[in-house]
Amino acid sequence: MPEQGFRAVLLFGVPGVGKGTQGKILGQIPGFFHLSSGDIFRSLDTNSPAGEGIARYTSRGELVPDELTIRIWKKALDTFIAGSAYKPQEDLLLLDGIPRNINQAKLVGDYVDVLQVVYLVCSNKAAIIDRMKRRAQFENRADDADDDVIRRRFEVYRNESEPILDYYSEDLISRVEALGTPAEVLRTILDCLIPLQNDYVATN
Query: How high is the pLDDT of residue 1?
Result: 41
CA distance 85 to 79: 9
Domain coverage including residue 173: 6-202
Number of domains in the chain: 1
The answer to which of 60-69, 83-92, 108-117 has the lowest mean pLDDT is 60-69
Phi, psi of 34 (to 5 degrees): -90, 125
Task: Note whether residue 168 is domain-resident.
Answer: yes
Task: Note whether residue 1 is domain-resident.
Answer: no
CATH number at residue 71: 3.40.50.300
Contact between 77 and 40 under an 8 Å Cβ cutoff? The reply is: no
**Is the model's pLDDT at 115 over the cut of 80?**
yes
The answer to which of 13-17, 46-50, 97-101, 123-127 has the lowest mean pLDDT is 46-50
Please indicate whether residue 50 or residue 143 has the higher confidence score (pLDDT).
Answer: 50
Query: How high is the pLDDT of residue 2?
Result: 45
Task: Note whether residue 89 is domain-resident.
Answer: yes
Helix, coil or strand: residue 181: coil
Task: Note whether residue 64 is domain-resident.
Answer: yes
Please indicate whether residue 60 or residue 195 has the higher confidence score (pLDDT).
Answer: 195
Mention every residue, 6+ apart, whose C-beta is less than 8 A from residue 70: 104, 107, 108
Task: Note whether residue 130 is domain-resident.
Answer: yes
